[in-house]
Amino acid sequence: MTQAGTERDVNAASASVSPALRFLQVAFVRLGVLPFLLLIAIVVFTLLSDNFLTQRNLLNVARQSTYLIMVSMGQMFALLTGGFDLSVGTTLAITSVVGATAMVAASVAMPDVVPLAIAIGLLAGFAVGLSIGIVNGIGVALLNVSPFMMTLGMASIGFGIALYMTGGVPVYGMPPAFADVFGFGSWLGIPAPVYVTAALILLLYLLVNWTRLGRYFYAVGGNVKAARLSGINTRLTLFTAYVLCGGMASISGLLLTARLETGEANIGASMPLESIAACVIAGVSLRGGVGRVENVVLGALFIGLIQNGMNLARIESYLQTVVIGVLLILAVVADQLRLRYMTGARD
Amino acid sequence: MSAAAAQERGSPAVEGAPLLRLEAITKRFPGVLALDRVDFDLRPGEVHVLFGENGAGKSTLISIAAGALRPDAGRIAIRGKPIQLHSVHHARSLGISAVFQEFSLVPQMTVEENLFLGAEATRSGLLNKRELHRRAEAILARLGFPLRPRQQVGFLARAEQQMVEIAKAFRSELSVLILDEPTASLTERETDQLFRLIEQVKRDGAGVIYITHRISEIRRIGDRITVLRDGRYVATVPADTAEEELVRLMTGRVIEQIFPQIAFSPGRTVLEIEHLSTADRAVSDVSLTVRAGEIVGLGGLVGSGKSEVARACFGLLPLAGGRVTFEGAEVTGASSRQMLERGFFYVPPDRRSEGLVMMRSVRENTTLASLDLAEFSSGPWLKRAAERQAAQRLAERLNLQPPRIEREVDHFSGGNQQKVLLAKSLTREVRLFAFDEPTVGVDVGTRVAIYQFIKELCEGGAAILLISSDLPEILHLTHRVYVMYRGTLRAELTGAAINQETVLGHFFAREAA
């Protein structure tokens, strides 16, 4: 009785339309939950800490978020095609370890040509990260392994290899120039990783919105049968999605390695969760076929913002993971709610 | 809830009142007024047909009657007593059961488990499986459905799943049965079975709300028809109202004839199939030709392999033997991509599952099969302005309603989704169109538009293969007809031989023998 009563009240409320509420509802259906979350987060943290809304801190958030932004954009491709990639964390780790090891070896072999040593390290790390994406792609696209099992398996394999290679000890001894440029370098007051990320955002934005391949990701994720009937090579499209995901995680891993100045096997453990959370909060559909690059960037920035704000507010890091989990679930609930409004708009 | 139930029992039924009355029902969705003060009433023992184009509000109205949606305004009364329907479950407890087009079955569960889902018989807290089995058998026997209660639903054909869905309505006392295009996936025989059942329901004093687009069904089982248009009530008329009048009420315009006159001018052979067999045996040893400027019908029962012939030529099914020649070049075993490039376009029957990417825009769907053309891309880059113009042009040509090409396909009505599917085939140069059940689940207005569309293509010199289970469509539109039966070609008919008796005779060919 009470439940029915409240439902009636809700209906009555939405029918009698307070214009402000109506506007909020339409905005929610149009834009999703992210703008609301961002607004709430900014207000709350500004109230909690004086240092939050300062230029210095916001630049800090931007720099800290770059690693997650890159991984999340990669993750988006897997999600667009209706799958996901749980091995992004591992990709980060193995990229870091292999890249650092190769760089150390190269700089020992030829201490005079530092740029070459750095390039060798970068290439080695990128190649191994990319190859994780390639194996994922082969498994998902050609062998029809479910993305869940395939990427979970690869996560275990990659992590195992990274630990085995290093014995669990960080890899030291990279040329200082590497960290100086890619980790701590800045130009016009803006950190180097931010430039790299900005370039990648632009690149992927173009790829997704202005190329055939980009369109095909949506089509394959939205309806693989319709895509096939439209003459699209669905397997190649799926494969490419995972390779892109691996590549993005790999670049992120290299930049993070530069920042940490060591190759580490246990960086990126939180990346699968955080990248999927960033995408979902940004309105990327877990069913595939829906999602926008610019929103994913905002989603990742939002998570960075939350973490930064909680740090400033002296919230314990263990509790922070709780908050991220809660936000993720809230975002999915909001997505469902939105879906209900939207399907209601049909005949 | 319990208080409400008590109240319902408390107030007496009003004598002579209709079984179900919906009064001034209004339902608003964000941005859309789906129903605008619609009236509807259902008497005991009648079949009341809801008639209207896709998007007229029929589905919304029955969803409200079935308790799945709550109206924003208006009154609902059962046997004269005002009532609020809180949920489908609540409606069902009052004897109102609906069979929607989208099934609510659990594929992994058996027929009997699905039948009693949510109303399982228990004995001291545990499932009483023997009792459930007995009751399931009783219901299926009463309805005459050839289903085994312990079959897993996921393995059943669509028609059989629908039987399960209908049987669910009969598990408890029934006073209002709502059927939403129930015959769309049924064969002739299953349809007869269903109609006998409806007769029985009527005799028991229950009422039936029936949605259909088929005039012949209205004639057979309907008593009254309520016509909706654009979310508004238009009229309630007797079931023997002339078809032209119904179409006029529904569309607001007069349609002289549903099927256009087509001037055939058969030219060169475009598609030639010789002794084609597929690896899965759905097609065996089929030979046929399609020429430019003619419409060739491919008829047969559901599952006769008629669809598979086109799919095999379009690179969707692995072949076991035979030759396919297209425009003089052998293309046996070519991929969908290659066939598209050569000018063969296959329009699939199920727009939702195979035809369209539902959550993407009309624009993206329209051009999806043609992004490789220089018109829409150069190298990897899309020409989005050209794409937008093409989509806009086609939306206007096919009269897409509303003409908003950036809107998601999912938010359009079925008929308009079908238009998007057709638009897809117009974005590139096509010499052979294979339409697979092009008018399933669309209203008469859209149907006429689609026939006109096919006519124009044919008279423009295209070759057309029309695959259809809809007999009138085959009879009235085609120049030649092939009839399939269990994977083989049964007959080729031309001219006067294309009549109902001959074609139907081949549909069932040797089944009796």
CATH number of the CATH domain containing A164: 1.10.3470
Element (DSSP H or E) covering residue A221: helix A212-222
In tens, the pLDDT along B357-406 reads 998 999 999 999 999 888 898 888 999 999 999 999 999 988 888 888 99
User: What pLDDT is stored for residue B273 in this prediction?
Assistant: 93
User: What pLDDT is stored for residue A343 in this prediction?
Assistant: 61
Number of domains observed in the structure of chain A: 1
What is the DSSP code (8-state) at residue A263? B
Domain that holds residue A60: 33-340
- Which of A14-23, B326-335, B344-353 is predicted least confidently? A14-23
Residues of chain B found within 8 Å of residue A285, distances taken between Cβ atoms: 359
Whether the CB of B12 is below 8 Å from some CB of chain A: the reply is: no
Q: Which ranges in chain B are annotated with CATH 3.40.50.300?
A: 2-95+173-251, 269-343+429-511
Q: Does residue A24 lie in a domain region?
A: no
Name the percent of chain B lying above pLDDT 70.
93
- Do the Cβ atoms of B357 and A231 come within 8 Å? no
User: What pLDDT is stored for residue B309 in this prediction?
Assistant: 92
Q: Pairing between strand B20-29 and B329-330? A: unpaired
Task: Work out the pLDDT band at A70, boundaries 50, 70, 90.
Answer: very high
- Alpha-carbon gap, residue A291 to A205, rounded angstroms: 12
Q: Which two tokens stand for residue B282?
A: 């759905």
Q: Is the pLDDT of residue B429 over 70?
A: yes
| Residue B498 C-alpha, separation from nearest chain A C-alpha, in angstroms | 31
Per the model's pLDDT, the better-predicted residue between A248 and B448 turns out to be A248
Q: Does residue A203 lie in a domain region?
A: yes
3-class DSSP state of A187: strand
3-class DSSP state of B316: coil
Q: Is the pLDDT of residue A335 over 80?
A: no
- Cβ-Cβ pairs closer than 8 A, A with B, add up to 128
Q: Which two tokens stand for residue B493?
A: 């008919």
User: What pLDDT is stored for residue B157 in this prediction?
Assistant: 77
Q: Is the pLDDT of residue A5 over 70?
A: no
Instruction: Please state the three-class secondary structure of B436-494 as a single string.
Output: ECCCCCCCHHHHHHHHHHHHHHHHCCCEEEEECCCHHHHHHHCCEEEEEECCEEEEEEE
What does pLDDT average to over chain B? Answer: 85
Q: Is the pLDDT of residue B13 over 60?
A: no
B 35-94: CB under 8 A from A? 54-60, 70, 72-73, 84, 86
Phi/psi at B97 (5° precision): -125, 140
- Which of A36-45, B28-37, B139-148, B489-498 is predicted least confidently? B28-37
Whether the CB of B31 is below 8 Å from some CB of chain A: the reply is: yes
Q: Does residue A286 lie in a domain region?
A: yes
Mean per-residue pLDDT, A70-93: 95
Whether the CB of B128 is below 8 Å from some CB of chain A: the reply is: no
Whether the CB of A232 is below 8 Å from some CB of chain B: the reply is: yes
Q: Does residue A215 lie in a domain region?
A: yes
Q: Is the pLDDT of residue A147 over 90?
A: yes
User: What pLDDT is stored for residue B147 in this prediction?
Assistant: 86
Q: Is the pLDDT of residue B190 over 80?
A: no
Task: Work out the pLDDT band at B411, boundaries 50, 70, 90.
Answer: confident
Residue A78 near residue A216, CB atoms below 8 Å: no
Largest CA distance in chain A: 81
Mean per-residue pLDDT, B81-107: 86
Q: Does residue A75 lie in a domain region?
A: yes
Predicted ipTM beyond 0.85? no
Asked if residue B402 has a cis previous peptide bond (ω within 30° of 0), the answer is yes
Task: Work out the pLDDT band at B507, boundaries 50, 70, 90.
Answer: confident
Residue B452 near residue B256, CB atoms below 8 Å: no
B269-343+429-511 adopts what CATH topology?
Rossmann fold (3.40.50)
Does the predicted model carry a pTM greater than 0.80?
no
Q: Does residue A83 lie in a domain region?
A: yes
The fourth-level CATH superfamily of domain B2-95+173-251 is P-loop containing nucleotide triphosphate hydrolases (3.40.50.300)
Q: Does residue A17 lie in a domain region?
A: no
User: What pLDDT is stored for residue B142 in this prediction?
Assistant: 81
| Residue A307 C-alpha, separation from nearest chain B C-alpha, in angstroms | 33
Q: Which two tokens stand for residue B84?
A: 């609020």
- Alpha-carbon gap, residue B318 to B270, rounded angstroms: 22
User: What pLDDT is stored for residue B154 in this prediction?
Assistant: 84
Which member of B30, B60, B357 has the closest CB to residue A219? Answer: B357
Phi/psi at B468 (5° precision): -155, 145
Name the percent of chain B lying above pLDDT 90.
31
User: What pLDDT is stored for residue B166 in this prediction?
Assistant: 83
* Alpha-carbon torsion (B169, B175, B180, B184), positive or negative: positive
Residue A83 near residue A74, CB atoms below 8 Å: no
Residue A246 near residue A133, CB atoms below 8 Å: yes
Whether the CB of A235 is below 8 Å from some CB of chain B: the reply is: no
- Alpha-carbon gap, residue B368 to A214, rounded angstroms: 12
Q: Is the pLDDT of residue A236 over 90?
A: yes
| Residue A229 C-alpha, separation from nearest chain B C-alpha, in angstroms | 7
Q: Does residue A141 lie in a domain region?
A: yes
Q: Is the pLDDT of residue A10 over 80?
A: no
Instruction: Please state the three-class secondary structure of A36-94 as a single string.
Output: HHHHHHHHHHHHHCCCCCCHHHHHHHHHHHHHHHHHHHHHHHHHHCCCCCCCHHHHHHH
Per the model's pLDDT, the better-predicted residue between B330 and B258 turns out to be B330
Torsional class of B67: left (φ above 0), alpha (ψ -120 to 50), beta (otherwise): left
B 362-381: CB under 8 A from A? 364, 368-369, 371-372, 377, 380-381
Q: Which two tokens stand for residue A28?
A: 């929610």
